[in-house]
Amino acid sequence: MSVRERVLDLLFPPKCPFCQKILDNPRAPVCPVCQPELPWLEGKAAERRVDFANSCFSPLAYRDMVPGAVHRYKFSRVRALGRPFAALMAQCLEDHLPQRAGLICWAPLSRERLRERGFDQAELMAREVGRLLSIPAGPALKKVRDTSPQSELEEESARRANARGAYAALPGLDLTGRRVVLVDDVVTSGSTLSECAALLRQEGAEEIWCLTLAQARHG
Ligand SMILES: [Zn+2]
């Protein structure tokens, strides 16, 4: 742990992202009370099919304490929550993907939304997963069109139309033959991730593995 991290831990002691109690063990991502209560996804249940991607892994189902914690992370500017979430995601990736990935990227926010929120939660999680697993993390995509929040759209067709054409690959990106991990916070219909995965494929990515904190029931 760096000096900076140690100072931050003193100023802002790590809290459980689900119940917000200060953690006795600051290195544990979740408190021992929430740990057994969380809707963990095991084995095949942790996988979701996403078009253009090899698969999508998520450690948690999007229910019980999870939606509240994700919402707090997104809207309260509590960046520190990204760390425990990323720890859960890194563990999930290790459990499900035996091969090492060459790059971790994320489904980015639009510039406007980034200005509103102050940070890109998916980027923070992707960078932290990369740090934990020693995989390089970096931007691959940009958002070129603002979309309605997917969570406000019920129909799968509406979600797909909302995501279509909303992203573009960064200029100069060459993913030829690479194994890429694509991070987002929650997967529901998978239309955002499949839109992004299609672009990564176009740039030559050979394998694309999506990774989200939570998987929402869909359909
Ligand atoms: Zn807790």
DSSP codes, 188-219: SSSHHHHHHHHHHHHTT-SEEEEEEEEE----
Report the percent of the chain where pLDDT is more than 90: 66
Return the closest-CA partner of residue 210 out of 140, 161, 150, 143: 140
Report the percent of the chain where pLDDT is more than 70: 96
pLDDT for 25:
87
pLDDT band (50, 70, 90) for residue 76? confident
Q: Tell how far the Cα of 31 is from the centroid of ligand 1, in angstroms.
A: 4
Q: Tell how far the Cα of 12 is from the centroid of ligand 1, in angstroms.
A: 16
Coil, helix or strand at residue 57 = strand
Bridge partners (DSSP) of residue 104 are 137, 181
Task: Choose between 112 and 53: higher pLDDT.
Answer: 53
Q: Tell how far the Cα of 13 is from the centroid of ligand 1, in angstroms.
A: 14
Q: Are 30 and 84 in contact (CB under 8 A)?
A: yes
Using the predicted structure, report yes or no on whether residue 80 has a pLDDT greater than 80: no
pLDDT for 27:
82
Q: Tell how far the Cα of 66 is from the centroid of ligand 1, in angstroms.
A: 11
Q: Tell how far the Cα of 115 is from the centroid of ligand 1, in angstroms.
A: 30
Q: Tell how far the Cα of 65 is from the centroid of ligand 1, in angstroms.
A: 9
* Tens-place pLDDT, residues 131-189: 999 999 999 999 998 877 777 777 888 888 888 889 999 999 999 999 999 999 999 99
Q: Tell how far the Cα of 16 is from the centroid of ligand 1, in angstroms.
A: 5
